[in-house]
């Protein structure tokens, strides 16, 4: 068994220009405890994990230290509509179908210390966009906004083909690359100096806080910062109807290096990073925790 594991890990070590990336540990999370789980989100320390449970979109929180799963919301939380703010609390958006078959969205804040949640944006028709801040969190909508405090620090979010960066209380708005279908998945580097996001037809773009493009990383999706120098992303293909392959890749933020962390046939997707830990799921909803070593 040990020899088989060693051989497997060796296959996942990649060398380019003197850099070696090795997968040193993988482990299934919540096997036999939870059903299918999707859209994992780690906090910065990597010791707490949000995920959506099954088709009903119930939002749950897993604590690695206590090995306990808590239910955050019974409401339907779509996709990446939940995140940890810089204050350690959870902010999320539920949605339900209302009169006239319209979708109504409600904003919530969940206190991780007390285990209590409260409504911070009443139900409204239209998009509600998460904005992750270094000192808190915000929810943005056309009707009204919510902020956890007067200053949530440096924050990022997207709307259409615009990426918003809040610095010192002032919003900066950039459209650094063309994308008729818009931008998604904006995130701030741990040192607070760069923003990575996905632009349809372009892939992952890295900019500085002035909106200048510092790197184009290729047509990968769902970028998350592993540290100040590397990102983890999803590399998926489809036939127009369903996924045909999906894997997790490591990308250097300057665009000079790429390493496969899982194989294309593994159907692994939706990566998240925090505290040196990587968590992803599979097309069947199997959560996995991974640790890697980067030798430069």
Give DSSP secondary structure letters for 189-258.
-TTSSEEEEEETTTEEEEEETTS-EEEEEES-EEEEESSSSEEEEEEEEE-SSSEEEEEEEEEETTSS-E
**What is the average per-residue pLDDT within 39-45?**
97
Position 3 scores a pLDDT of 41
Instruction: Give, for 57, the enclosing helix (H) or strand (E).
Output: none
CA–chain centroid gap for 272, Å, is 5
Instruction: Count the Cβ atoms, other than its own, within 10 Å of residue 225.
Output: 22
pLDDT at 120 over 60: yes
CA distances from 179 to 143, 185, 199, 202 (A): 25, 14, 6, 7
Taking a C-beta distance cutoff of 8 angstroms, is the pair 160, 181 a contact?
no
pLDDT at 11 over 80: no
Least confident of 3-7, 155-159, 172-176: 3-7
Position 17 scores a pLDDT of 52
**Tell me: the pLDDT tens digits for 136-149?**
999 999 889 999 99
Residue 197 β-bridge partners:
205
pLDDT > 90 fraction of the chain, expressed in percent and rounded: 85
**What is the average per-residue pLDDT within 111-123?**
95
- 222: tokens are 């769902």
Q: Which residue has the tokens 């944006």?
A: 121
pLDDT at 13 over 60: no
Position 57 scores a pLDDT of 84
70-73 LR contacts (CB < 8 Å, sep 24+): 70/115, 72/110, 72/117, 73/108, 73/110, 73/117
Position 142 scores a pLDDT of 87
**What is the average per-residue pLDDT within 72-87?**
92
- What is the C-alpha end-to-end distance of the chain, expressed in Å? 30
Phi, psi for 100 (deg, rounded to 5): 75, 15
Position 101 scores a pLDDT of 85
pLDDT at 130 over 90: yes
pLDDT at 4 over 80: no
Instruction: Give, for 187, the enclosing helix (H) or strand (E).
Output: strand 183-188
Residue closest to 185 by CA, chosen among 287, 60, 39, 57:
39
CA distances from 237 to 43, 182, 242 (A): 28, 19, 9
**Tell me: the pLDDT tens digits for 206-224?**
999 999 999 999 999 999 9
Position 100 scores a pLDDT of 82
**What is the average per-residue pLDDT within 234-259?**
96
Burial label for 245, CB within 10 Å (0-12, 13-18, 19+), is middle
pLDDT at 1 over 70: no
**What is the average per-residue pLDDT within 272-283?**
97
CA distances from 241 to 33, 184, 268, 282 (A): 31, 21, 18, 17
Position 18 scores a pLDDT of 64
Instruction: Count the Cβ atoms, other than its own, within 10 Å of residue 275.
Output: 13
**What is the average per-residue pLDDT within 181-200?**
96
Instruction: Count the Cβ atoms, other than its own, within 10 Å of residue 32.
Output: 6
Considering the chain, what is the average pLDDT of its residues? 92
Q: Which fold has domain 2-47+131-295?
A: Neuraminidase (2.120.10)
**What is the average per-residue pLDDT within 162-186?**
95
């Amino acid at each position: 068994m040990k020899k088989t594991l060693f051989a497997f890990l060796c296959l996942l070590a990649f060398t380019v220009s003197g850099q070696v990336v090795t997968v040193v540990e993988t482990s299934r999370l919540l096997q036999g405890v939870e059903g299918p789980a999707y859209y994992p989100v780690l906090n910065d320390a990597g010791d707490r994990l949000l995920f959506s449970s099954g088709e009903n979109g119930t939002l749950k929180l897993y604590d690695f230290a206590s090995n306990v799963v808590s239910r955050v919301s019974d409401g339907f939380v779509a996709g990446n509509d939940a995140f940890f703010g810089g204050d350690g609390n959870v902010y999320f958006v539920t949605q339900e179908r209302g009169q006239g078959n319209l979708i109504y969205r409600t904003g919530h804040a969940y206190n991780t210390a007390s285990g209590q949640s409260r409504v911070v944006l009443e139900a409204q028709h239209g998009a509600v966009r998460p904005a992750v801040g270094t000192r808190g969190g915000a929810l943005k909508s056309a009707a009204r906004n919510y902020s956890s405090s007067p200053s949530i620090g440096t924050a990022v979010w997207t709307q259409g083909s615009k990426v918003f960066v809040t610095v010192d209380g002032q919003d900066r708005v950039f459209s650094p690359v063309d994308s008729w279908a818009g931008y998604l998945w904006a995130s701030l580097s741990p040192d607070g100096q760069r923003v990575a996001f996905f632009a349809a037809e372009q892939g992952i773009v890295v900019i500085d806080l002035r909106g200048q493009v510092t790197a184009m990383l290729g047509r990968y999706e769902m970028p998350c910062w592993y540290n100040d120098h590397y990102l983890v992303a999803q590399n998926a293909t489809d036939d127009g109807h369903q996924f045909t392959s999906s894997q997790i890749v490591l990308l250097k933020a300057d665009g000079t290096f790429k390493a496969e962390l899982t194989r294309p046939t593994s159907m692994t997707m939706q990566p998240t990073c925090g505290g040196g830990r990587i968590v992803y799921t599979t097309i069947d909803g199997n959560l996995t925790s991974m640790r890697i070593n980067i030798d430069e």
